Amino acid sequence: MSFGDLKTDAGLKALNGFLSTKSYIEGYKASQADVTTFNALAGAPDSKKYAHASRWYKHIASFSDERRARMCGSCGTCPAGAKAAAKPAAAKPAAAAKAAPKPADDDDDFDPFAESTPEEEAAAKALAEKKKAEAAAKKKAPVVGKSLVLLDIKPWEAEQDLEALAVKVKSIAMEGLDWKQ
């Protein structure tokens, strides 16, 4: 795709219009065309003026230089450092595979049905006692459930004495009942 000079408003406007209905320049995943267009931009487009181009730019920028170089292939517009960075990275896993020693097969002498040794039994017993002690330390006195009850008492008549009514209500006494003033 050709959008003109992507360092000008006209080029950015064309790119923004194109990306208003697409996620990538070509296809359904990032490709060489995306990297070429990305490299042609001077920087991130203004997100207020070019929302779609800014979204696309941030997405392509989220890929590492190495990853963009692998997407690019041989487009010719990538910086030389990006292409060079991709080649050693591909060689690193092979070198790591050669350097990694084969693990020793220690599972041959394991017998799941064998009886445990006295040391293992002592360690298991000590662990069980430790857990029991921790559980006993964590155990606390049970918390007594409390409730707050708000009584809204309204007089039947306008002339009713509310002070006398309050005295009668507060004269109620029950276990756990505490009249807060």
pLDDT on residue 96: 47
Place of tokens 């170089």: 69
Place of tokens 């009850």: 149
d(CA 31, CA 23): 11
Tokens for 137, please give them: 């330390």
Provide the pLDDT confidence category of residue 128 given band limits of 50, 70 and 90. Answer: very high
d(CA 170, CA 156): 19
Q: What digits encode the pLDDT tens for the residues 172-181? A: 888 878 877 6
Does the pTM surpass 0.75? The reply is no
Q: What is the mean pLDDT of the chain?
A: 77
Helix (H, G, I), strand (E, B) or coil at 81: helix
